[in-house]
Structure 1
Amino acid sequence: MAAPVHVPDLTGLALLVAIARTGNLGTAAHELGLSVQAATARVRSVEQLVGTPVLERGRRGRRSSRLTPRGVLLVEWAGPVLDAAHDLDAAVATLRPPDDGTDAVVLAAGPTAAESLLPGWLVELRDGPGGRITLLDTADPAAAVRDGDAVVGIVETGGPLDGLHATTVASDTLVLVVPPGHPLAGGPGIDGAGLAGTPLVSRRPEAGSRPVLDAALRDAAGDSPVAAPIRELAADAAVRAAVRGGDGPAVLPRMVVAADIATGLLLEVPVHGVELTREFRAVWQQGTSPQGTARDLLRIATGGRIR
């Protein structure tokens, strides 16, 4: 997927939204910590990128603080982009060590939980009780909690977890997706053995949902070999893009591809006779009761079941 070439930077979009709200270029510039001259330059840059004026011109051609009809339209379109960037900022903050002297609760999670679940929880935490979370990215969150390196962990493994309290916070199903026009699209589906023999675009070994998929394919294949992947990529977003580009089918978490399926960019192929469900559990040390931000995070993750 090529990088967008007509999208203004976030500051330029935020400036337009502020102008729409305040009705004044100078006031909007002040809110964003810009001089009027810098704000005017940002507006000029936006207009060059989109190819149309976004602020009306007054006498002598000077920009006013009134949005043109197309400027209004751009502001409306920019809203979801700025909301998404604001939410991303909350997630990225967990990657940074605390630098303001405040204590942060350490959350241990593997890549899948961090990618799929953590952003939504962090936004709800930010917009609700507040608090700082630092992410410990590890393949064994349970061990990190047992060792005291993290207060809360999110695990994907089934079975008992010695020395830990555990509660289910989410479950998801892996689905086989193909682009429109693929030979599997619109058909009756495929069984487990057939899926095991189908080359897929996949995550790298041990990354994301790949371990769950590999275990299911080995069970379905029996004594037959499992087909080697067409490509192995670093992130679900890259796998989705490869499938949309026609590189091949993929098995991905439904929560990752739901929007693509809803819009028809990807099509789901029924899979029969193989279990592709995974469960996420929050864990913390036995004999302890998480407090403060840790408790708030667990309350969000469990939908209020932890109180």
Structure 2
Amino acid sequence: MNFHQLHIFYTVAERGSFSSAAQALHMTQPAVTMQIQSLEDYFGAKLLKRSTKKIELSEAGKTLLPYAKRSIELFREADQSMSSFTHMLEGRLHLGASLTIGEYVLPRLLGPFGREFPHIRVMMKVMNTAQIMDEILKNQLSFGLIEGPIQHADIAVEPVMQDELKLIVPAGHPLAEQQSVQMKDVLAYPFVLREQGSGTRQVMEEELIRKSFDLSRLDAVMELGSTGAVKSAVEEGLGLTMLSPSSVKHEVALGLLKVVDIEDVSFKRQFYAIHLKSSLLPIPAVTFLTYLRRHQPEQMTEAQDKGQPQKEGV
């Protein structure tokens, strides 16, 4: 018995068929079948009940499954723990990222990552969450980074980074020179918002509801389908908005927009990594995710603003 056989057994059990498992593992179906037979020979018991419709676990298979799952989890933990010691990795890293993460958060992290791991080439696609899930399921991406949790039987979801929305106002606005404001004062002004259903809008509305603010008091004069369009509208003085400071860093540096804190209200959100449950992430992917956990976006921004090296730790 070896780990490779346990991994194959777990994948067949999760997928419910040899052909689907073979596709996920990038193996031929006869090779998968042979490894399962070797494992059954080792234990002297049938692990799977084969039928024309679907593979089912025998009693012996049901007993083995949690041990196989634990071995995979332990392997992943070992990869994650050791990845920070490996600096001569080579290869390409294929990942997908949703709009805010791909356009505004990751670019500030990719440069330092590339300097620390110069032999890893990152190939990133900026897509919506549904597209990222589809390519992961087709084994076209190693993993994806998205702005909200999802549920899918074949996809693992884990928190990886945190972000926080802030009030964004145009330069020259009455609130622009204040370090912090109260939410009741903010609601007196019109807002330019992302469209209904966007992760940014959802985080803002959920926090306002949690703080017992009436959403009907929110004067949304405009709803736009991209962060860039929202920023341009705010620059023109059409309203205020709530965005990640990472997405307005350039405009703030040019003096076009200001970031203002709102007292006693915190619009924090979690970013998530998603990948196939049945596949082990390649070492470059584990290294990249470990790097993201150690270097939060706000830490990168603060360090760059002060001209200091980034600090490790969350």
Q: TM-score, normalised by structure 1?
A: 0.52
* Aligned residue number for residue 130 of structure 1: 120
Q: Partner residue of 2:229? A: 238
Matches of 1:180 and 1:278, distance apart in 2: 26
| Residue 103 of structure 2 is aligned to residue 112 of structure 1 | no
Partner of 1:199: 190
Matched, 1:229 2:192: no
Change (3 A) 1:180 1:227: same
1:216 Cα deviation after fit: 2.3
Between 1:241-250 and 1:184-193, the stretch displaced more is: 184-193
Go from structure 1 to structure 2 and tell me whether the alpha carbon gap of 1:177 and 1:290 turns closer, same or farther (over 3 Å shift): same
SS at match of 2:120: coil
Using the aligned pairs only, state the percent identity: 24
User: Does 1:289 find its partner at 2:280?
Assistant: yes
Q: Distance in 1 between matches of 2:251 and 2:133?
A: 36
> Against the structure 1 CA distance between its residues 215 and 267, is the aligned structure 2 distance closer, same or farther, given a 3 Å change threshold?
same
Question: Does the CA-based 8 Å contact 1:129-1:296 persist in structure 2?
Answer: no
C-alpha distance 121-262 of structure 1, shift in aligned 2 (>3 A): closer
Residue 242 of structure 1 aligns with an amino acid whose one-letter code is: A
Instruction: Determine the structure 2 residue equivalent to 1:212.
Output: 203
Pairs within 5 Å for 1:40-59: none
Higher RCO structure (Cα 8 Å, ≥6 apart) = 2
**C-alpha displacement at 1:152, in angstroms?**
0.8
Question: Residue 225 of structure 1 aligns to a residue in which SS?
Answer: helix
Please show how residues 140-219 of structure 1 align to structure 2 within 5 Å: 140=130, 143-144=133-134, 147-148=137-138, 150-157=141-148, 165-187=156-178, 189-196=180-187, 198-207=189-198, 209-219=200-210
Residues 122-131 or 268-277, more deviating: 122-131
Kindly report which structure 2 residues correspond to 1:246-265, keeping only aligned pairs within 5 A, or say none: 246-265=237-256
C-alpha spacing 1:155/1:165, structure 2 compared with 1 (3 Å) = same
Structure 2: any 5+ residue segments left out of the alignment? 1-90, 296-311
CA–CA separation in structure 2 for the residues paired with 1:254 and 1:111: 15
Cα gap change, 1:190 to 1:123, in 2 (>3 Å): closer
- What's the offset of the Cα at 1:298? 2.7
Higher alpha-carbon deviation: 281-290 or 296-305: 296-305
Question: 1:110 touches 1:154 (CA, 8 Å); kept in 2?
Answer: yes
Q: Aligned letter for 1:237?
A: G
Change (3 A) 1:199 1:302: same
Unaligned runs of 5+ in 1: 1-102
AA paired with 1:131? R
For residue 133 of structure 1, what is the amino acid of its counterpart? Answer: M
- State how far apart, in whole Å, the 1-side matches of 2:290 and 2:131 are: 19
Structure 1 residues 293 and 133, CA gap change in structure 2 (3 angstroms): farther
Amino acid in structure 2 at the alignment position of 1:279: Q
Provide the C-alpha distance between the structure 2 equivalents of 1:253 and 1:193, rounded to a whole number of angstroms.
Answer: 21
Q: Deviations over 1:32-51 (max 9, x none)?
A: xxxxxxxxxxxxxxxxxxxx
Alpha-carbon distance change, 233 to 274 in structure 1, aligned in 2, over 3 angstroms: same
* SS of residue matched to 1:154: strand
CA distance in 1, matches of 2:262, 2:149: 22
Q: CA deviation at 1:249?
A: 1.6
The alignment's TM-score, normalised by the length of structure 2, stands at 0.51
Q: Secondary structure at the match of 2:162?
A: strand
Separation in 2 of the partners of 1:114 and 1:292? Answer: 21
* 2:129 alignment counterpart: 139
Give the distance between the partners of 1:228 and 1:208, measured in 2 at CA.
19
Distance 2:206 2:167 in 1: 15
Q: Distance in 2 between matches of 1:241 and 1:153?
A: 28
Which one of 247, 255, 258 corresponds to residue 267 of structure 1? 258
